[in-house]
Structure 1
């Protein structure tokens, strides 16, 4: 779907007019391309605690130039600001003001990543206040970023260093083009688990990934991205979408399974397909979902029940099958499950009580299922998209569509690829330290901010 306003605003005439009128000026975002470095340019590292030293080590190992202070006339690609040693609110000021002094040196599509420690792990009020303060300042900074820049945070569990594989993986993700439409968000890294992929360009090599709702839109983008990253992909969709599904999976050399995911035997059939065709199943992406929008006063049981059945109950039933003892020969250890939630499940949305309930349910089941996955050496996380340019959003009335596009810090809609990149990261071993989390891919939408 073409963003005609965005294309106009990017033209020379459009920049002059939109600037004069104070209108949104969205810019083309830097997105990931295979083989490109994490960042193009130098990264300023701030802070005096252990995380700052770890950040310098990691960035240098990735071939990036590390700066300790802005240089006159030089452009920065990013800032990593470490607050892991903050013990009181007054400890934040020096590093925060250094960030402020560096903002004018940031180039287009720049990245600011803050590093802090979990506030809920702090018993002392002053320590918790400082740690919570980092989250407030990061979200506010994200709204001040310009020219496609983003600001996000990593929240470390007590005793988890930034050099832990899951923390290092989170830092690489947030600095890279994979997180183009993620801003004002936090990735919790609660354990030292995870691993650095042997091949950075193909972090899913040797893995088998199942994607439901794979025939079109975001599902098709997920299939292509997981395959690009090295996975063998099984695409699942309803029989009526068989032709589209076959086209998508054939494109990447995957296999297709026509299946109604609400059927009682859906989980068993997916397991059997993976057992027979691939011998294993390492990743499951619960992407399939439907909408049946009505104002609650006009809602009927059929609309309500069908949305809950597809969007939430099917995930619960399939996860139960995947975690059963008799599935271990297929799922083994280290199964990664990623569910698709929505910002509607966080903020709510007029006319979508059923959809919002179903997507909030995905967030809840994800958090509650985390211990069971951890016991198996795996993880479960969710991705909550905001306004994404799809066939579905193309049908929204123009005025409503434009509000959806602009009502975020990046002033534009995201692409299916943006959601797929977050899913692919959660599917990788580099995300092994994050479990039970929901990451919003919404450009820092003002809805539920």
Structure 2
């Protein structure tokens, strides 16, 4: 769906009028295209410990133009602030204030990424590390022109250059993270490996996507295919024509299936193995809404949402965990929602189901770890889809602007995050929830 307002206030007379009136002017976001440079312009790496040196060396090995000290008025593509050696709150001052003037030189669509560690150790160390959370989230709200700020949080024994730490850094620096802002990814282990081809990180994988006939699901299927995966597109029989169109367009296969069936998990496994010889990735995207104030909620609305959005995922995951065909570093990615974090009026059933998805993800992570696998969730905010297009105009406009990027995201933004979490470079990331919401300003 086209954001007419954004187009109007960024060109000609509309742009001049918006500036005079102080109206929001959503920037054109820097989104990923295969073959494009990872980032536009030099990357400044600040930090005094060995972690900063190692990250700078890794970025140099990617062919990036790396700076260790700022050059006045040089336009920067990104700033990486390495804070992995904090021991007390006072340790924040020097690296943060040293990097601060360079924010003026950040290019449109630029990136700021912090690298820190999980709060722990002494009270002073925990305070300093937790302080990075507030620092980064506040900074992200100060950035302009489509620039974003995000953070990587390392477990105590994980190196700043562990595969998943570098994978997360590449994701945050790239156009793949265009609508991810003010968020953190926790790297809990040294598992994972970087792909040989950064533009085909899913090469050789077989991935299943539920709810793939339209909207976000179709975008996920297309993005996984673009990134090298063979895709099984799953949706209900009623969506068969749209499903076939998506599957044919990406040279995948279509499976017409009601995921609430007791045997849905086994049918998915059988189809993937019979048609493609393996199963590596399952993306739980299928979901429904049946909105109503709780005082007016009936059993049908409540039960259908819970059954599709979370109960079906639990049953399918049971089949996956029991299958010998889902053993080689498997990946599960579920689509949650910011409604499950912050709540939403009239969506108690939907929010409960999406909160349930996040709880399921955290509890399932240890079960997959024994096979080198991972499970994570992506929580979209306001995304431009057929569903949001039906929201009344005034409500829709307010929802679009209530994030740091002052616009709605695209289905492809959700798909990019899912593709990252489905890849080998995210092997050390599990049990996490990554919000794709432009840093929503309400509730969470």
TM-score with structure 1 setting the length: 0.98
What is the CA–CA distance in structure 1 between the aligned matches of 2:107 and 2:15, rounded to whole Å? 18
Q: Which residue of 2 aligns with 1:346?
A: 341
Q: Which residue of 2 aligns with 1:71?
A: 71
> Which stretch of structure 1 is more off in the superposition, 69-78 or 59-68?
69-78
Task: Give 1:54 deviation, angstroms.
Answer: 1.5
**Secondary structure, in 3 states, of the residue corresponding to 1:236?**
strand
Q: Which residue of 2 aligns with 1:137?
A: 135
What is the CA–CA distance in structure 1 between the aligned matches of 2:172 and 2:381, rounded to whole Å? 18
Task: Give 1:162 deviation, angstroms.
Answer: 1.4
Task: Give 1:353 deviation, angstroms.
Answer: 0.1
Deviations 1:368-389 (A, max 9, x none): 1000011111000000000000
**Secondary structure, in 3 states, of the residue corresponding to 2:9?**
helix
Q: Which residue of 1 aligns with 2:270?
A: 272
Instruction: Name which of 351, 359, 375 aligns with 1:356.
Output: 351
Task: Give 1:95 deviation, angstroms.
Answer: 1.3
Task: Give 1:335 deviation, angstroms.
Answer: 0.7
1:382 equivalenced with 2:377 (yes/no) = yes
Segments of 4+ moved more than 3 angstroms: none
What is the CA–CA distance in structure 2 between the aligned matches of 1:315 and 1:445, rounded to whole Å? 26
Q: Verify the 8 A CA contact 1:207 1:281 in the aligned structure 2.
A: yes
1:333 equivalenced with 2:328 (yes/no) = yes
What is the CA–CA distance in structure 2 between the aligned matches of 1:51 and 1:306, rounded to whole Å? 49
Q: Which residue of 1 aligns with 2:255?
A: 257
Deviations 1:207-257 (A, max 9, x none): 000000000000000000000000000000000000000000100000000
Q: Which runs of 5+ in 1 are unaligned?
A: none
Q: Which residue of 2 aligns with 1:40?
A: 40
TM-score with structure 2 setting the length: 0.99
**Secondary structure, in 3 states, of the residue corresponding to 1:396?**
coil
Task: Give 1:151 deviation, angstroms.
Answer: 0.3
Q: Which residue of 2 aligns with 1:178?
A: 176
Deviations 1:285-307 (A, max 9, x none): 00000000000011000000000
1:418 equivalenced with 2:413 (yes/no) = yes
Q: Verify the 8 A CA contact 1:345 1:357 in the aligned structure 2.
A: yes
Deviations 1:109-162 (A, max 9, x none): 00000010001xx13100000000001000000000000000000000112111
Matches within 5 A, 1:383-402: 383-402=378-397
How much is the aligned-residue C-alpha RMSD, in angstroms? Answer: 0.8
Q: Which residue of 1 aligns with 2:210?
A: 212
1:82 equivalenced with 2:75 (yes/no) = no
Q: Which residue of 2 aligns with 1:116?
A: 116
Task: Give 1:270 deviation, angstroms.
Answer: 0.4
Matches within 5 A, 1:23-34: 23-34=23-34
Q: Verify the 8 A CA contact 1:50 1:84 in the aligned structure 2.
A: no
Deviations 1:2-53 (A, max 9, x none): 1010000110322211111111110110000001121111011111112211
Task: Give 1:412 deviation, angstroms.
Answer: 0.4
What is the CA–CA distance in structure 1 between the aligned matches of 2:99 and 2:71, rounded to whole Å? 14
Instruction: Name which of 280, 283, 286 aligns with 1:282.
Output: 280
Matches within 5 A, 1:360-375: 360-375=355-370
Q: Verify the 8 A CA contact 1:210 1:235 in the aligned structure 2.
A: yes
Task: Give 1:185 deviation, angstroms.
Answer: 0.2
Q: Which residue of 1 aligns with 2:230?
A: 232
What is the CA–CA distance in structure 1 between the aligned matches of 2:150 and 2:88, rounded to whole Å? 21
What is the CA–CA distance in structure 1 between the aligned matches of 2:179 and 2:438, rounded to whole Å? 5
**Aligned length in residues:** 444
Matches within 5 A, 1:181-196: 181-196=179-194
Task: Give 1:447 deviation, angstroms.
Answer: 2.5
> Which stretch of structure 1 is more off in the superposition, 48-57 or 311-320?
48-57
Deviations 1:367-413 (A, max 9, x none): 01000011111000000000000000000000110011000000000
Task: Give 1:63 deviation, angstroms.
Answer: 0.7
Q: Which residue of 1 aligns with 2:98?
A: 98
What is the CA–CA distance in structure 1 between the aligned matches of 2:121 and 2:52, rounded to whole Å? 24
